[in-house]
Amino acid sequence: MQNKSHYSTPMDIKKYNYNQLTQLSLKDKMYILETERLKDYYSVKPELANFKSLIELKSKQSINRNVLAEVLKEQYESYSNTSNQLDLIDQLKSENTFTITTAHQPSLLTGPLYYIFKIASVINLSKQLKHNYPSYNFIPCFITGGEDHDFEEINHLSLFGKDIVWEDNDWDGGSVGQASTNGIDQVVSSISQILGQDSYIGKWLESKILPLLKTAKNYSEFARALTHELFGQEGILILSMDDERLKHLFIQHIKEEIFNQPSEELILNTQKELAKLGWKPQAHARNINFFYRTQKSRSRIIFDGLNFTTNDNKNNWTKDELETEIENNPGSFSPNVVMRPIYQESILPNLAYIGGGGEIAYWLERKVQFEYFKIPFPMLIRRNSAMIVSHSLQKLLMKNDIEFKNYFQQTDDLIKYYMSSKNQDSYSLEAQEMELQKIMGAAIEKAKNVDPTLEKFAQAEVAKMKKGIEAIEKKIHKAIKKKEEIELNRIAKVQNKLFPSKGLQERKENIFQYINDYGFGLITKLVKELNPLEKKFIVFFMQPLDLLNQEQKK
């Protein structure tokens, strides 16, 4: 049973082994806990000591730092409080400066919690590296996507289990980053209604975020500006790779992929090898892994054996025509998930990529592809998984009096655990069954001694009695379960809050419901605690003393 004092201290932080979580996939746990089994598919183990060799290797790669700095500086022109970022951009021009990178689609108002956890993890690691390698600079970098056209993947968020959807917009099928921000003001309004118009976040959204909507040229710029508001003070660079100048640096790789088509075979061979470990393919590699993009469309490029076209049949080129188009208009060529890592690592002085389990899985399919394109393969680090437990939820936890780690079980197993630990003596007839077997064993032996033909009859009667005891035990269990119905419902309610839809909280809930109660200091605490090199599941037990005081809420 759980010691109730477990929840008694402010910001109580507990760490658990990942193998205790039933909510993680087997392949995810394999990379976290059994990295050695996958050694053929990554460059180096995710350890601080291994950054030395990565620095030496990456230093040999030709990176156009000036163009990168120029693009970043321009992207930050419209944001406020960018002195930290301008200093970091200047540092990028130096050969002794490297990036530690994570990436995500521009989820609606940051979307699920792991968007935040990713960024906190990359900042944490950059600080560790500066401490351990003081002669180098390490810049945390967050790449916000936006070239994709999967609007349904980024147009929603969840607060307290309530889904908020961005519906009123004029998106027309092109890249989501190029969409207008029409309708996001309604999303902000919905958040304020849920949290309270006069709530801490309600006021913050009105004063900080609504003005960003008015000045942002498109959705990508708005998403970057919002992320800058949350993490800018922590010293992170937020980059959109959707830029003509950066694509120009990638021209030779675009041509190589489109005209020689190496990636499909390389990745398919790796996927076949990984299948022997029980892994399913993570990304669908095609013979050409680029889209051709216009303002209102993003269409896959296809080779028919003679000429090139797009899958919507709106564009057709000969080889020479397409080569000319790539050289003159590289910004129109958008990499899919197979080529995006190649693009990223070709333009950044990057040492490590921090991602979730699914991301790491598809990066593990890429090593031979990187070797083909002669680009150093970054260290792959599984981001932190974490959970924030509000002080109000902890009141329910204390009522249930169950050790917290037991909530990591599936619901049925948790209920069985509770019933057995709470009422073991009440409903178990194991002792009576053992006594019966003892008595009836003697009876069978006596019957057999009188007449051997009676043995089978006696054994059948014992089997009937055993079934009778099992039936009685089930009836007792059912009666106790009914008696404990209120407690069991509370247990199920708590577990559903901890693991919404039986999955990790980080994949569902949004950060603003917690910042509303605990302030932006929560961001600083996440950055401090989310060390991606520590293979632990981190739980933040928030306390009333962590709550914003009334002055802060005003």
What is the pLDDT averaged over residues 73-79? Answer: 94
- Predicted confidence band of residue 231 (pLDDT cuts 50, 70, 90): very high
DSSP string, 25-36: -HHHHHHHH-GG
- Predicted confidence band of residue 460 (pLDDT cuts 50, 70, 90): confident
Percent of residues, the chain, with pLDDT higher than 90:
70
* 83 three-state secondary structure: helix
Q: What are phi and psi of 305, to 5 degrees?
A: 100, -15
Q: Which of 236, 124, 240 is nearest to 177 (CA)?
A: 240
Q: Which of 411, 414, 458, 415 is nearest to 437 (CA)?
A: 458
Q: Going by C-beta distance under 8 Å and a sequence separation of 6 or more, which residues neighbour residue 184?
A: 108, 166, 169, 213, 219, 222
What is the pLDDT averaged over residues 122-137? Answer: 98
Contact criterion met (CB below 8 Å) for 116 and 70: no
- For residue 307, the model assigns a pLDDT of 95
- Predicted confidence band of residue 8 (pLDDT cuts 50, 70, 90): very low
Is residue 554 pLDDT above 80, yes or no?
A: no
Handedness of CA 513, 518, 523, 529 (dihedral sign): negative
Instruction: Tell me how far apart the alpha carbons of residues 417 and 420 are, in angstroms, rounded to a whole number.
Output: 5
What is the pLDDT averaged over residues 450-469? Answer: 79
- For residue 1, the model assigns a pLDDT of 40
Identity of the amino acid at 27: K
DSSP string, 535-553: -EEEEEE--GGGSPPHHHH
Q: Are strands 308-310 and 297-303 parallel, antiparallel or unpaired?
A: antiparallel
- Predicted confidence band of residue 425 (pLDDT cuts 50, 70, 90): low
- Helix then strand then coil, % of the chain, to nearest 5: 55, 15, 30
pTM of the model: 0.88
What is the pLDDT averaged over residues 201-224? Answer: 93
| pLDDT tens figures, 313-347 | 999 999 999 999 999 999 999 999 999 999 999 99
| pLDDT tens figures, 155-176 | 999 999 999 999 866 777 778 9
Alpha helices in 50-183 (DSSP H): 51-59, 65-75, 83-92, 113-132
Instruction: Tell me how far apart the alpha carbons of residues 498 and 164 are, in angstroms, rounded to a whole number.
Output: 20
Query: Residue 487 is encoded by which pair of tokens?
Result: 């407690």
Handedness of CA 233, 236, 241, 243 (dihedral sign): positive
DSSP class of residue 299? E
Instruction: Tell me how far apart the alpha carbons of residues 14 and 23 are, in angstroms, rounded to a whole number.
Output: 18
What is the pLDDT averaged over residues 380-404? Answer: 91
Between 432 and 373, name the one with better pLDDT. 373
Query: Residue 95 is encoded by which pair of tokens?
Result: 């050969």
Is residue 366 pLDDT above 70, yes or no?
A: yes
Sheet of strand 237-239: strand arrangement = 237-239, 137-144, 97-104, 350-355, 379-382
Q: Are strands 536-541 and 386-389 parallel, antiparallel or unpaired?
A: parallel
Our CA angle for 332, 335, 340, nearest 5°, is 140
Domain parsing of the chain, residue ranges: 401-503
Q: Which of 339, 361, 341, 362 is nearest to 352 (CA)?
A: 341
What is the pLDDT averaged over residues 60-82? Answer: 95
- Predicted confidence band of residue 444 (pLDDT cuts 50, 70, 90): confident
Summary mean pLDDT of the chain: 90
What is the pLDDT averaged over residues 466-495? Answer: 77
Q: What are phi and psi of 486, to 5 degrees?
A: -60, -45
